[in-house]
Structure 1
């Protein structure tokens, strides 16, 4: 096709620009089912885009070797909004409809003798604009993904830092996260394998969570990976579903809470448990933060100390002081039922009965090594509290990391 012919075709399109745009919009309205569902503003964008697309076709005919700039010349100010509200598939349908309108009027526009040559030019332009449109959507998706990743990291950071519930709620709402059902926070080491970047880790977490019917928010914080899971009816099973995405070392899951706005409570326990998990080398993976209460208490977690005292010492003292005394005697006797019975001047079966009461009341089994260890620390903390109350100077059970250092 000669440059003179191209210039002539371009001039014809310029003269017919308004009529072709009106015909293209009318055909979209009649043939595309979803077009009628768009609001007035979206329809006006599409009319503007169709008009600009036909106008650029005439410019392309005049300068055939010049690459198409669909982003600026066709989409104009609408690309970000359009790519969010109208899918790529629908945009391709709009482009195809506009080109079909031009092709259907080729004979009227260019005459029978030039119809074939003009049709080939329109087909070439349609191919170019289709590739350029796909590139616009690809760039928009990439930018949106990077922006969403930053918002996701900020939302997780707000939970870990214990920000206000309103702030957490608003950041999660921006992401459109479906936080239905119980929410738990899982903390562990970030993978350090070569070639595994943060984006790969996040995608793996989402994939693992999705297969188990969970939704996840994820953030890689230096060497630590933090995951919020919604729909976690059973915390350990939920954490197990994503455990493979973590690096080596312990994986700790916090207690379930009712909503993402309360997730800072689960996060606080999970982070404290992760810091203290080294005190229990044989801990299961994943491990519940509540199973690490004794390690957390020894590491300075005031919440864990108060929880241990409340679950064990205060509950047993309120329920039956005799059972509390028998537990203390049993632990002092080196976890020997017979020795505790001699100390208490009772039958060994009485000691066993009272130890079963301890297990029922506290959910810690004094007959297991782990349970006895936890109960011993709980009684020690409870005894310190009771002794302190007697002197008017109760011990500080707050988190030691939050104390004001001495000058």
Structure 2
């Protein structure tokens, strides 16, 4: 059994749990895979239901909106169950959401698809609330950013595989253009659309089975118990507002909002963007491979970033990567062809360390407020629900390429957070905490 060390506040801090980290990285892989599969669902359902970009982006609005609506209930659930059972519950709920894709496809109902996505995202929200702080706390505080980045590297491996998997099993069925379909008889159109919708049934039922089996495995595995910084240690003493009054938490919440919004918006538009005649001039199925490369770059960057973060300031590295991504977004907005295509793909490499670094900096030195800050940071993932539809609305007006100015603004804010906003300013906990 690994030994624990005591911090100055007397809490136990475990320093070496390689097996536990192995299990947790599997969880990170699964939710990365499920999240990135949305990038394939968007062009597929856009074609099936003949949606505008704005309506297609309701997929991301629904999925990431669940983070905002369900983060606090998820935090209370994890507080009551503990990290391990919270992870198990999240996997089961996500499995139910994945299984619901079968009747949604059978009914060929876009609202039903959105409902299934909401349930799936609720399960992933529970996983995020439980697993992110668990990994951050599973070792010395000074290496929490490095540890989270390593776990997120496996998350990126999931996002790397998902577009390839989805492109092969889902997008490959969408072979007719909208004009071709309109030439078909009404009855044949219905049959063809139903066939397209059913393409998601097999893949998502398979994912539901995997999620339930993983829940059983985690339940049987002896994960270390870390209770001192969950909401169990904070019941009734502090509120979310107490955490938000701390500058590096407030700025961190905004930074997570901006980062997830930018990352998701870029991934969501990439298939349609790269397939465009003036960019990649290819089929949507072929363009899906470049989405895999985008997330694959993030995976490589997280493995490299984990090593870099162990050697240099996470704030400095975050600022440097933000500047590079701003330059890449500007490049893709002002060029065409291969330059525009590859500049947007390479953004994934420098996205790599952003989420885990912002998260770790956002909960740094918070003690009993860690649970509250974690819930707030997870709620901020709602940026993935807000930015993509907003960019979709702008793209409907001025085109996809120029609409990328929205992620550009997001990266500019992350630069501020790395350079100044994440610096810790002395604060005093409310008197309710000091009296314990």
**TM-score with structure 2 setting the length:** 0.19
Specify which structure has the bigger relative contact order, considering alpha-carbon pairs within 8 angstroms and separated by 6 or more residues: 2
The structure whose Rg is larger is: 1
**TM-score with structure 1 setting the length:** 0.20
